Amino acid sequence: SNFSLVDVKISDTRSDAFDGDFSIGRIEGSSFQRVGGDAIDFSGSKIEVKDSKFLTVADKAVSVGEQSFLVGRNLQIVDVGTGIVSKDGSQTQVEGVTFGETQYYEVMAYTKKPQYGSATLVVDNALGDKPLRSVAQKKSSLSLNGEKIPTKKLNVDALYDGYMAK
């Protein structure tokens, strides 16, 4: 599908707020609040997100997977499980993001489904109330504020059996 969400507010959802599979679209000036799953979740998609807020999200604010391409600008991410995740062959680039109250990691790059390959995540001009936490699985690539984050072995199955379990 093709879509455009402009000045949309999605709140009080039990699971994912917006799930776009094989989509092309943009989200602008929107807010996602009190979300029980992921705020926005993409698979096989090409997406632009700008000037949007993600507040009180149980799982991931921005989940980019299965060979998606996402460009984001001017995002506010507060009180979430995890901020921005790029996984499974996805390429994600975000410029200008403010993080507050993240339970686990602000940014992550990893492979959950090996058939899609490794992920890339570039986040520049990111701010937070405390030092930003990041993790990049071996073979994936993560750059945070111009610094390439060293990769490490990551048990993704354990992540999804643990705090990312649905």
- Give residue 157's pLDDT: 77
What dihedral angle (degrees, nearest 10) is formed by the CA atoms of 50, 7, 63, 67?
Answer: -70
The Cα–Cα gap between 5 and 39 comes to 13
pTM, full prediction: 0.94
The Cα–Cα gap between 48 and 28 comes to 8
CA nearest neighbour of 76 among 38, 41, 30, 45: 30
Name the token pair of 87.
């996984």
Count CA atoms closer than 13 A to 106's CA, side-chain side: 27
- Give residue 166's pLDDT: 55
* Residue-wise pLDDT tens digits, 68-115: 999 999 999 999 999 999 999 999 999 999 999 999 999 999 999 989
* Residue-wise pLDDT tens digits, 21-49: 999 999 999 999 999 999 999 999 999 99
- Give residue 126's pLDDT: 97
Cα→Cα distances 84→1, 20, 62, 142, Å = 23, 16, 5, 11
